[in-house]
Structure 1
Amino acid sequence: MPVKQAEQAQYLEEAFGVFNRMSVQLESSYRDLENQMSVLNRELAASRSERLKTLAEKEILAIRLGRLLELLPGAVLVLDGEGCITQVNPMAEELLEPGLEGKQWFDVMKDHFNPDFGERGEVTLISGRHVSISMSDPGAEPGQVVLLMDVSDEHELKELLNRQDRLAEMGEMSASLAHQIRTPLATAMLYVTSFNNEKVLPAERQRMAGKVLECLKHLEQMVNDMLRFTRGGKSTTETFALKDLLEEFRQVIEPQLFELDGSLILPSIIEDIQIQGDRKDLLGAFLNLASNAIQSSGQHSHIILELIQVSNGFVRILFSDNGQGINKEIRGRIFSPFFTTRPEGTGLGLAIVQSSIIANRGEIKLLNSSDGGAVFEITLPLTGPGPVLTSGMGKSENYENKQTHTVIV
Structure 2
Amino acid sequence: MNQAEQPNAQTLADAFLAFNRMSAALESSYRDLEQRAAALAEELAATRSERLALADRLETLLATLPGAVLHIDGDGRIREANAAARVWFGGELTGQVWQRVLSVRGARLRGNELALADGRRVSMARRDLAQGDGCILLLTDVTEQRQLEEALERQQRLSAIGEMAAGLAHQIRTPLSAALLYAGQLGHARLDAARQARFRNKLVERLRHLERLVNDMLAFARGGEVAQGGFALQDLVATLAARSEAALAAAGACLRCRLPDALAEFVLPGSVDMLGAALANLVENALQAGADAIEVTAGDDAGFLILEVADNGPGIAEADRERVFEPFYTTRSEGTGLGLAVVRNTVEAHGGRIRVRPAETGARFEIRLPRAAAEPLPTDSTTGMAPLAAHTAGRLSQGAR
Q: Give the TM-score, by structure 2 length.
A: 0.68
Contact kept? 2:70, 2:81, Cα under 8 Å = yes
Change (3 A) 1:301 1:76: farther
Work out the CA distance in 1 between the residues paired with 2:230 and 2:87.
38
Q: How large is the RMSD of aligned CA atoms in angstroms?
A: 4.7
| 8 Å contact from structure 2 (residues 243, 280) kept in 1 | no
Q: Which amino acid aligns with 2:309?
A: D
Q: Secondary structure in 2 aligned to 1:6?
A: coil
User: Which range moves more in the overlay, 317-326 or 76-85?
Assistant: 76-85
Report the CA distance between 1:206 and its aligned residue. Answer: 5.1
> In 2, Cα distance between the equivalents of 1:202 and 1:227?
37
From 153, 175, 184, the counterpart of 2:175: 184
Structure 1 equivalent of residue 154 of structure 2: 160
CA contact (8 A) 1:192 1:212 kept: yes
Match of 2:187? 196
**By how many angstroms is 1:88 displaced?**
5.2
Q: Which residue of 1 aligns with 2:231?
A: 243
- C-alpha contact (below 8 Å) 2:243/2:277 kept by paired residues: no
Counting only pairs closer than 5 Å after superposition, residues 261-276 of structure 1 correspond to structure 2 as: 261-264=254-257, 267-268=263-264, 270=266
2:365 maps to: 375
SS at match of 2:366: strand
Within the alignment, does 1:28 sit opposite 2:21 as a pair? no
- CA deviation profile, 1:204-248 (whole Å, cap 9, x unmatched): 64564343233223223323444555x489x5577x33436x677
Equivalent of residue 241 in structure 2, options 254, 257, 263: 254
Aligned counterparts of 2:192 and 2:153: Cα–Cα separation in 1 = 55
Please say if residues 236 and 275 of structure 2, whose CA atoms lie closer than 8 Å, have aligned partners that are also in contact.
no
**1:213 aligned to 2:209?**
no
Which of 314, 318, 323 pairs up with 1:328?
A: 318
Pairing 1:10-409 to 2, within 5 Å after superposition:
10-69=6-65, 71-72=66-67, 76=69, 78=71, 87=80, 90-91=84-85, 94=88, 112-113=108-109, 134-136=125-127, 145-147=136-138, 149=140, 150=142, 152-170=146-164, 174=166, 177-200=168-191, 205=196, 208-226=199-217, 229=220, 231=221, 235=224, 240-243=228-231, 249-250=236-237, 252-259=239-246, 260=248, 261-264=254-257, 267-268=263-264, 270=266, 284=274, 287-297=277-287, 298-306=291-299, 308=301, 316-323=304-311, 324=313, 325-355=315-345, 360=349, 362=351, 364-370=353-359, 373-378=363-368, 407-408=392-393
Alignment-mate amino acid for residue 231 of structure 2: K
Output the CA distance in 1 between the equivalents of 2:171 and 2:197: 25
One-letter code of the match for 1:347?
Answer: G
Are the aligned partners of 2:282 and 2:309 in contact in 1 as well (CA < 8 Å)?
A: no
Separation of aligned partners in 2, 1:80 and 1:139: 11
Pair 45,269 (structure 1): closer, same or farther in 2 beyond 3 Å:
same
Q: Alpha carbons of 1:162 and 1:98: their partners in 2 closer, same or farther (altered >3 Å)?
A: farther
2:322 counterpart SS class: helix
Of residues 6, 22, 30, the one that matches 2:2 is 6
SS at match of 1:209: helix
Q: For 1:36 and 1:296, how far apart are their aligned partners in 2?
A: 100
CA distance change for structure 1 residues 96 and 155 in 2, over 3 Å: closer, same or farther? farther
Structure 2 gaps of 5+ residues are 249-253, 375-383, 397-401
Matching residue of 1:397: none
- Kept in 2: contact 1:123–1:130 (CA 8 A): yes
Whole-Å separation in 2 of the counterparts to 1:129 and 1:343:
51
State the shift of 1:143 in Å. 6.1
CA distance in 1, matches of 2:331, 2:266: 38
Aligned pairs, number: 359
CA offset at residue 321 of structure 1? 0.9
Cα drift, residue 163 of structure 1: 1.0
Once the two structures are overlaid, the 10-residue window that deviates more, 292-301 or 38-47, is 292-301
**Residue 2 of structure 2: SS of its match in structure 1?**
helix
- Cα deviation digits, residues 354-373 of structure 1 (max 9, x gap): 45566x49563525345753
Partner Cα distance (2:340, 2:355) in 1: 11
Q: Percent of aligned pairs with the same residue? A: 22
Q: Is the 2:265–2:373 contact (alpha carbons within 8 Å) kept by the matching residues of 1?
A: no
Amino acid at match of 1:51: T
Mapped to 1, the partners of 2:236 and 2:120 lie a distance apart of 33
CA distance in 2, matches of 1:375, 1:96: 58
CA separation of 1:224 and 1:236: change in aligned 2, threshold 3 A: closer
CA distance in 2, matches of 1:284, 1:93: 49
Aligned AA for 2:158? Q
In the alignment, the residues of structure 1 paired with residue 293 and residue 96 of structure 2 have an alpha-carbon distance, to the nearest angstrom, of 66
* 1:243 alignment partner, SS class: strand
Q: Is the 8 A contact 1:93 1:100 kept in 2?
A: no
Q: Distance in 2 between matches of 1:237 and 1:86?
A: 45
How far, CA to CA, are the matches of 1:328 and 1:166 in structure 2? 26
